[in-house]
Amino acid sequence: MTNARITLVRDFTLGEVPRRLFGSFVEHMGRCVYTGIFEPGHPEADEKGFRQDVLKLVKELGPTVVRYPGGNFVSGYNWEDGVGPVDKRPRRLDGAWHTVESNAFGLHEFVDWSRLAGTEIMEAVNLGTRGVDAARELVEYSNHPGGTYLSDLRKQNGSAEPFDIKLWCLGNELDGPWQIGHKTAHEYGRLAQEAGKAMRFVDPDIELVAVGSSHSSMPTFGEWEHTVLTHAYDEVDYVSLHAYYQEDDGDVKSFLATAVDMDYFIESVVSTVDAVRAAGKHSKHVNLSFDEWNVWYQRGLDTDDQPHNVSKGWREHPRLIEDAYNVTDAIVVGTLLNSLLRHGDRVKIANQAQLVNVIAPIRSEENGPAWRQSIFWPFARMAELARGQILRASVDSDKYESAKFGDVDVVDVSATWDEDNGRVALFVANRGLDEPADVDVSLSGFVVGRVSRAEVLRVPNGKDRFATNTLEGGEQVGLSPLTGVTVTGSRLRFTLPALCWAVIEVEVTRA
């Protein structure tokens, strides 16, 4: 039996839970848009072509902000192609994913969809093949009330009121040789500085995200952030991070510990950002936007310089990276969410990539059903319950040895305190493959009442870590009640099954 002691103190907090941590990502890639969120003619599509079965699952998942339209796609995208009468929009070749883009879905459609979904928009501009002029014109088209050519064109295209998009990405992964318009850090830093300045001349209230490293193994990691921010620190509010993880060669222990790598990545970028702040004598803090993250099995990829699967011919919305997620993947996603929440004092935005079909928590079939993948559940529960203050968790856990990360806590946790609703929520994972874990939680400074919720990831047959939810097999992986949770005074005790993720919520008042 594994043991873990967790101490939570009411007054030891990191600050408010950033609600934008629970973001998602819609890119014109594979079947994320077409036959994902948008499929005219589907039995459950509305008059605008939005799939209502998918939209229902999106609302249940609970993303707060959605990044659009890319991703690699945006670095070759002309935003003007996606506005105006649909029958007059041009068909284009998309070099990022080697597909044909019909442009039947564009900015207006995404704004309409996001309003139905109840999500904020995080819009990306093309700083690959385009630059300052296109970026500022897109802000004017989207946000200016009227009386200019571009704002009146928006009205002519059916949107009398401004879109009022406040969160903008200054390009995507431009440190990567695979990116259309790949740049050096100096080239990108100057472009981001000037594009951001011009965009703010149009709308001074927008927030801007500078491109950071595509992953922490990039040869320019650290140097890239430092150089970019040396140019653009005053113009931007956030710098981005991207990371994807997979189980390599059966090394499940390292895979289960990948949140350790996310911790390192975040803390390294914070150090770099703050070094630029100190050297430049800047007064403001630039925070972090982890705007691409997930489990992604990148097997059979072409070369190190092209870390993305592409289709073999020029087709519209082919199937691309439609990973079927298992129980183990869901537990890893839960621990990655824990890492993001534990760093919520500096990570203010995060976007799981992507929303539907493409490495996604939701799957759909053309002219068919939609369903939840295993990774849906940790995201949905944390998006629902992680509110109020982030509690600093002191964890004393038994450890196991991993090949990549050394000794790692078997039990991983994050916690929040919602004083308005009188709830403490714990999000816990047992990384142990074979043994259950006895967990003892001390809630100092609280009067603890009843357990209002206790759920654990349901594993078919109690052991199958490779179980998935599929069209043919249905939703085998979900949530079930976690029994045996007890409260004694200010202590909470429970036992986690081997290899599991769980959420426990208790009623509390101030002591």
- Residues marked as catalytic: 173, 292
Classify residue 51 as left (phi > 0), alpha (psi -120 to 50) or beta.
beta
Alpha carbons 365 and 348: distance in angstroms, whole number: 33
CB atoms within 10 A of CB 482: 21
Task: State which H helix or E strand residue 120 sits in.
Answer: strand 120-125
What would the DSSP string read from start to end of 174-235? TTSTTSTT---HHHHHHHHHHHHHHHHHH-TT-EEEE---SSTTSTTTTHHHHHHHHHHGGG
> How far apart are alpha carbons 169 and 149 in whole angstroms?
24
Instruction: Tell me the chain's radius of gyration from C-alpha atoms.
Output: 23
- 210 near 239, Cβ under 8 Å? yes
The CA dihedral of 337, 189, 133, 350, to the nearest 10 degrees, is 0
Structure token digits, residue 432: 């142990």
How far is Cα 417 from Cα 445, in angstroms, rounded to an integer? 12
Question: Hey, CA dihedral for 199, 20, 30, 301, is it positive or negative?
Answer: positive
